[in-house]
């Protein structure tokens, strides 16, 4: 069966062949350099670190052909950029082990991590010879914070994820059984310790004692929302009356 292609245009830039290091044995023999980036203190405001192995007089390192990356302690995607070949490689957040070949004729590259938090750490090793490439899948393990007795009658703030914890929210579920005999409404929000609003909305009761599907006031799954210094559930305004049912919120998250 023939392959059907859409209309095409010619590639506009010159096609230039350059030498590659792939498959070449390094003159210094197989070596690696272990690196660790603590994003709280490295990378500056742009979260970018420059690595330059040229003129390394104490340990010759003539070529870069592979990276072995452990991003399991970083909740941000990281990107390796090789300027001479314009190659970029992105390693997803929380990836436990990735070994990849890289294509560059230089011994300089950059590592970026947009949105990294103070608790994020990336570890990797630079190789001058090519180990077998692998990629270990990211685990689905989560921590859970749940509270089934949240007051929605009064303006209040309840800490769900303790302060001092940074991480990523992956599942958010909130339920309110509408069992109040009187109509009312309450505005709420989820906010982290840096005053970033993660989610917000309104809980209402119609005066009916029969719960309905509208009782679920938030349901987010497979999201990836960073938070800093814990997460709180806040009631900002409320016209609920005494005897109204309490709300419950469950958060699935991972750290850092």
Residue 4: inside a domain, yes or no? no
CA-closest candidate to residue 115, choices 138, 90, 98: 90
The neighbour count for residue 47, using CB atoms within 10 Å, is: 19
Co-location of 193 and 213 in the same domain: yes
Residue 150: inside a domain, yes or no? yes
109, 51 Cβ separation under 8 angstroms: yes
Domain boundary residue among 121, 136, 151?
Answer: 136
- How many domains are there within the chain? 2
Domain residues for 105?
A: 32-136
Please list the residues that pair with 157 across neighbouring strands: 234
**Rounded distance, CA 75 to CA 228, Å?**
11
pLDDT of 143 reads 93
Domain boundary residue among 136, 167, 198?
Answer: 136
The neighbour count for residue 166, using CB atoms within 10 Å, is: 22
pLDDT of 153 reads 86
Residue 27: inside a domain, yes or no? no
**Rounded distance, CA 138 to CA 233, Å?**
29
pLDDT of 212 reads 46
pLDDT tens track of the chain, all 256 residues? Answer: 788 888 999 889 888 888 888 778 898 899 999 999 999 999 776 789 999 988 666 678 899 999 999 999 999 999 999 999 999 999 999 999 999 999 999 999 999 998 899 899 999 999 999 998 899 988 877 899 999 888 888 899 999 999 999 999 999 999 887 555 567 888 999 999 999 999 999 988 776 655 444 488 999 998 999 999 999 999 999 988 766 668 899 999 999 8
What is the DSSP-derived secondary structure letter of residue 214?
G
| Strand ordering across the sheet containing 183-192 | 156-161, 231-238, 183-192, 197-206
Co-location of 200 and 107 in the same domain: no
pLDDT of 184 reads 81
pLDDT of 243 reads 61
Co-location of 119 and 167 in the same domain: no
Residue 167, domain CATH: 2.60.120
247, 175 Cβ separation under 8 angstroms: yes
The neighbour count for residue 19, using CB atoms within 10 Å, is: 7
Domain boundary residue among 94, 120, 136?
Answer: 136
Residue 205: inside a domain, yes or no? yes
pLDDT of 211 reads 45
215 three-class SS: helix
Provide the CB-side half-sphere exposure for 238 (13 A, CA): 20
pLDDT of 244 reads 61
pTM reported for the whole predicted model: 0.81
Backbone torsions φ then ψ of 215, nearest 5 degrees: -65, -25
CA-closest candidate to residue 210, choices 246, 248, 178, 174: 178
**Rounded distance, CA 157 to CA 181, Å?**
25
Co-location of 131 and 37 in the same domain: yes
């Amino acid at each position: 069966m023939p392959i059907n292609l859409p209309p095409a245009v010619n590639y506009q830039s010159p096609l230039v062949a350059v030498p590659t290091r792939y498959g070449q044995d390094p003159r210094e023999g197989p070596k690696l350099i272990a690196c660790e980036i603590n994003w709280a203190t490295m990378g500056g405001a742009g979260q970018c670190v420059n690595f330059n192995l040229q003129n390394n007089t104490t340990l010759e390192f003539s070529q870069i052909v592979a990276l072995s990356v452990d991003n399991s302690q970083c909740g941000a995607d990281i990107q390796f950029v090789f300027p001479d070949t314009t190659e970029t490689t992105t390693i997803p957040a929380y990836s436990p082990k990735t070994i990849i070949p890289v294509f560059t004729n230089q011994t300089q590259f950059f590592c970026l991590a947009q949105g990294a938090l103070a608790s994020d750490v990336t570890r990797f090793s630079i190789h001058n010879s090519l180990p077998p490439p692998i990629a270990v899948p990211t685990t689905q393990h989560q921590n859970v914070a749940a509270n089934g007795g949240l007051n929605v009658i009064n303006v209040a703030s309840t800490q769900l994820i303790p302060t001092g914890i940074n991480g990523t929210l992956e599942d958010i579920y909130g339920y309110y059984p509408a069992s109040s005999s009187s109509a009312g409404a309450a505005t709420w929000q989820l906010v982290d310790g840096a005053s970033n609003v993660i989610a917000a909305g309104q809980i209402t009761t119609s005066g009916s004692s029969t719960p309905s599907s509208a009782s679920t006031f938030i349901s987010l799954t497979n999201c990836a929302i960073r938070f800093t210094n814990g997460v709180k559930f806040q009631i900002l305004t409320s016209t609920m009356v005494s005897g109204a049912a309490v709300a419950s919120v469950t958060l699935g998250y991972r750290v850092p």
